[in-house]
Amino acid sequence: MAEDSIVRIIGIGGAGTAVVKDVFALFPSGAEIAAVDTDTRALRESGIPKTLALTEKDCGTGGDITLAKQAADAHSRALESIAQGTKLLVLIAGLGGGTGSVIAPLVSKFAAANPDVAVLCFCIMPLSVEGGQRAALARKSFAYLSKKCAAVFELKNDVILARSDAPVSEAYAIANSNIVKAVYSLVKMLFSKGIVNVDLQTVKKIFSDSAASAFIGYGLGMGKGCVDEALEELLKSPLLKPSLKARNVLLSLVCGPSFEMNRMQYLLESASQKFGSPARVAFGAIADESFGDRIEVCAMGISEVEEPKAQPQAEEPRAEEQPSQTTAEAAISQSPAPQQNVCAAVSAPAPISSAAGKPPVLAAEERAHKRRRSFFSFKNEKDESSKKDEHAQTPISQGEFGFMELSQQRGFFGDTPPNIRNGIDLDVPTYMRRGIRIVL
């Protein structure tokens, strides 16, 4: 993508492309929208003008992360280009499958290399019935994204779909609408000339602490009691925890032109109280002729970071509780250390330690950890194994430690009387006496 944009929204994988397709259908001008997938047919049918096909096949990876990594290797430059040239990057991906779980973290990594880019990621988590393997992959990918993005929204399909009484054919579309509404509200606040405007720097400050959990909620109200109705629906959102205490909140309101200022103030104060009086609250309001007496409220932000609970430490036994030594133990502890054999002290090898002064076991574990490949390293495992096989087949030429002349075999003991036992000179090294060849 050559031209720069303030906001870029990218759907990654099958689920991400499906959501971005809905976003594109109703989106206001101002943001750039794109889709990335390994399924070329899904990209063609999405109607999104800017797409990046990672394969030439009309199918996805089938949850195979090896295929996703190979696709990432082949298009790494294009993926890096997608992550550049924007101020706010919004990623939407379904985790647990191959494409979304691998490509989304890679794009976030490229974007995070530029400190001026804020990255928000909406992650659609798999259903528990889809199996533990998909769940584990989703959690691993989510953890990586949490380190690279300003905010990562966890959209649990288990929670969202369990509360839906809609037909199966409509349930997923309704679940995806949570993301569509949030992204729509965010971008509309940034680009529309509303009653109260929000700029990009304000959005960045709201999501300035990536260690905190991000949340999102949506509420709709109509008529005279629209504010209370919208707040009630907002707090019942399946994506909000019941006892949520927010640190920073971004509130977006879309209302009709006749919506009164005192009701807007009431909405702002009530929302702030219900979220636990956050430290920072940003508020944007847009008047839309088509809304009449209807209002829509969207809240997104980060929650307070829960301090880890200190683990209770075992109390040291008091002096009277400590076991007393037996007479024999006391005698051993008070006796002087035995004299060490001088020859043993000279010849005994020094204990092996790492350069950092750590025990050998820990040092070995650290070396193994460094050699262990990260999940998101994109190297062709087949090529790696073939290189190992070629190396194993290559004959290795090794030399041998040559024997000394018989006259020189006594070494340091050359000027001393020989130490003969059973006709054998014990001062000559064993491998020379016995003709043992040492391979280097």
Per-residue model confidence as pLDDT tens digits over 390-404 = 555 555 555 555 555
From 191, 215, 237, give the residue that closes a domain: 191
Residues 42, 106 share a domain = yes
Read off the pLDDT of residues 228-238 as tens digits, 9 standing for 90 and up.
Answer: 999 999 988 87
- In this predicted structure, which of 131-140, 240-249, 256-265, 337-346 has the lowest mean pLDDT? 337-346
Tell me: pLDDT of 326 over 50: no
Share of the chain above pLDDT 90, in %: 33
Q: Average pLDDT in the 35-62 region?
A: 87
**Both 151 and 200 in a single domain?**
no
Question: How far apart, in Å, are the Cα atoms of 116 and each of 11, 84, 92, 113, 150?
Answer: 21, 10, 20, 9, 11
154 and 227 in a single domain? The answer is: no
Residue with token string 């629209």:
226
Among 286, 305, 324, residue at a domain's last position: 305
Asked whether 233 and 271 are in contact (CB, 8 A), the reply is no
CA distances from 291 to 190, 214, 261 (A): 20, 29, 16
**Are 167 and 215 members of one domain?**
no
Query: 3-state class of 59 per DSSP?
Result: coil
Residue-wise burial string across 350-362, b where 16 or more C-beta atoms lie within 10 A, e elsewhere: eeeeeeeeeeeee
Q: Is the pLDDT of residue 321 over 50?
A: no
Mean pLDDT for the stretch of residues 262-286: 90
Q: Which domain holds residue 78?
A: 1-191
Task: Give the whole-angstrom CA distance, residue 214 versus residue 186.
Answer: 15
Closest C-alpha among 260, 252, 251, 259 to residue 292? 259
Q: Are residues 245 and 133 in the same domain?
A: no
Residue 164 has a pLDDT of: 64
Report the pLDDT value the prediction gives residue 59, as an integer from 0 to 100.
75
Of 176, 191, 206, the residue that ends a domain is 191
pLDDT band at 377 (very low <50, low <70, confident <90, very high): low
Domain match, 158 and 212 both: no
pLDDT number for residue 371: 46
**Domain identity same for 99 and 163:** yes
**22-37: average pLDDT:** 84
Task: Give residue 403's pLDDT.
Answer: 55
Q: How many domains does the chain have?
A: 3
From the number of C-beta atoms within 10 Å of its C-beta (0-12, 13-18, 19+), residue 402 rates as exposed
Mean residue pLDDT of the chain comes to 76
